[in-house]
Structure 1
Amino acid sequence: MRAYGLTLATFFLATFALGAQAKALGKNDRYVCSWGSDIAAGAQQSKLSGVTLYSARKKLQVRKFPKPWMRMTAMGITEQTYNSQSRLKPTAIKQTYYEQCVQHAVAQR
């Protein structure tokens, strides 16, 4: 079975390697990646459910965030998700976002 040009074995090896990288990251980096992946998954769920970008943004405006930077970051993630042509399920979006965030954080080190 091939998915995006990768064999299933390669996919599992890559997933295992990302898990090891995630453990090497600090607690804050893992938290930020997890939080962002939750925002992306929620935005994808809203998009697939027919919620407009305007409505999704309004919900974020009234939501309480623990850190000041989170509101604008959530807006950006939501807008990018809505602009994407992707029809993947929210769980796939969450996993993809988290994996790419971890890769980015590791590359920044």
Structure 2
Amino acid sequence: MSDDPRDPTLEVRISKPKTWVEDSDAVGSFSMILAGATMVTRNRQLAWPSVAVALAGWVNQHPLRTKEGGSGIGPILFAFGALATSYLPMMVLQTTSSAKQTPLSV
């Protein structure tokens, strides 16, 4: 047996442990991308699909596929956070009209 690490007889095939879970469900990631796009572009119309996709991903997740945790409730919280922060300025900021303002006396 040689001590050369490049020797092809020393090659061992890589195998994953059986406890590793393949998470191929990208619905939570897509929901978080939509929520992030909502906050970056300030387009509040993107928050609603983000909430819908997050809820659909949460309802359709399979517990047998996510033994080690999974995405959980994170995308839902992120989607509702984007929804709240996109509509919050409409509720907090008050519009002032010219009829309510009184002119300064000289």
Q: Counting helix residues as a fraction of each chain, which structure ranks higher? A: 1
Which of 1 and 2 has greater Rg? Answer: 2
* Bigger relative contact order (CA 8 A; separation at least 6): 1
